[in-house]
Amino acid sequence: MYKLRLFKDKFMSKLMLVLTLVSVSVLFVIGVGLYYHSIPILRKLPLSDLLTTSVWKPLKGLFGFYPFIMGTLWVTAISIIIALPLCLLTALYINEYAPARIRKILTPFVNLLSGIPPVIFGVWGVLFIIPLIQDHIAPHFVAFSTGYSVLAGGIVLAVMIFPLIVSIITEVLRTIPQDLRDASLSLGATKWETTRKVILRKALPGIIAALVLAISRAFGETIAVLMVCGNNAAVPHSVFDPGYPLPALIANNYGEMLSIPMYDSALMFAALLLFVIILLFNLISRVILARLERKLAS
């Protein structure tokens, strides 16, 4: 009986190891698959030309990805700039200031946002955000804007990543011991001083981790973004200019224009580019997070 229990434990341990390796290897398989399908365009055009040129004319064999890279970065940066303060203050209110009754009401509503399909956010963006930018915001800054812009994409994306960031930061704040709050308050600090100098400092690694996950999701959002960004293959120079993020490029064109030579390989290279950007961003963020945790622990 004892040997049978040991066998079961070892079997389950090995099984979980195999399943974990299978799950992790999916990342490697995706990367290899995208690279394999990108080889034709990488052989035809130098990597530096693909990344730094702005001319996008597939019929002439010109594939410059620079506008799409910049479009992706613009939309993602705007969404994080909008979402981070809102999410941080919302999570702090829910966890530190809201009465229990209010907290029980707010939390399900925040979680409900994460269950809404992206296309609904896209429709909301077209119906409300585009007219808002076109008629009320853009006229104060530029002569004309259709509203279809990287700003619209950033706003829609900020709303989409809002529940993810709030949920993670809220969970991080709940892990902070109550003793730290009590000690700070007993020394004469106000509630806000305790929140700012004790709680936020202690929760900083978790907040950065939430931000990393949110940015990774923002990089890859497709449907809602392509509905409001304008999808113009040009480098945006202001928040009111249209953009064309990489996910929108792939979703808009894959399967429709594959008869054009090199076009399918170009789209696979766009997917590979997005994959590498997210991978590098996560790796760099993990390094920064590890250093920050060591610094706070010392």
- pLDDT tens for the chain, 298 residues: list them: 777 888 888 889 999 999 999 988 988 899 999 999 899 899 988 888 889 998 988 888 888 999 999 998 899 899 989 998 999 999 999 988 988 888 888 888 887 887 788 888 889 999 999 999 999 999 998 888 888 999 999 999 898 888 888 888 888 888 888 888 888 888 888 888 888 888 888 888 888 888 887 887 777 777 778 888 888 888 999 999 998 888 888 888 876 666 677 888 888 888 898 888 888 888 887 787 777 777 766 6
Pick the CATH number of 47-297 from 1.10.760.10, 3.10.20.310, 1.10.3720.10, 1.20.1050.10: 1.10.3720.10
**Domain edges within the chain:** 47-297
CB distance 145 to 134 below 8 Å: yes
The Cβ of residue 261 has, within 10 Å, a number of other Cβ atoms equal to 14
Length of the chain, in residues: 298
Give the contacts of 270 (CB within 8 A, at least 6 positions apart). Answer: 65, 68, 246, 249, 250
Q: What is the pLDDT of residue 207?
A: 85
Q: What is the pLDDT of residue 117?
A: 83
Q: What is the pLDDT of residue 298?
A: 65
Helix H or strand E segment including 84: helix 66-92
Q: Which of 157, 158, 136, 155 is nearest to 145 (CA)?
A: 136
Q: What is the pLDDT of residue 256?
A: 65
The Cβ of residue 6 has, within 10 Å, a number of other Cβ atoms equal to 10
**Cα 265 from chain centroid?**
25
The token pair that represents 235 in the structure block: 């480098």
CB distance 242 to 230 below 8 Å: yes
Q: What is the pLDDT of residue 66?
A: 92
Distance, in Å, from the CA atom of 233 to the CA atom of 216, rounded to the nearest integer, reads: 23
Q: Which amino acid is located at 152 in the chain?
A: A
- pTM value? 0.85
Q: Which of 159, 161, 135, 162 is nearest to 146 (CA)?
A: 135
Distance, in Å, from the CA atom of 261 to the CA atom of 9, rounded to the nearest integer, reads: 55
Query: In a 10 Å sphere around its CB, with 0-12 CB exposed, 13-18 middle and 19+ buried, how is residue 166 labelled?
Result: buried
CB distance 63 to 45 below 8 Å: yes
Q: Which of 207, 212, 210 is nearest to 176 (CA)?
A: 207
Judging by DSSP bridges, how do beta strands 56-57 and 62-63 pair with one another?
antiparallel
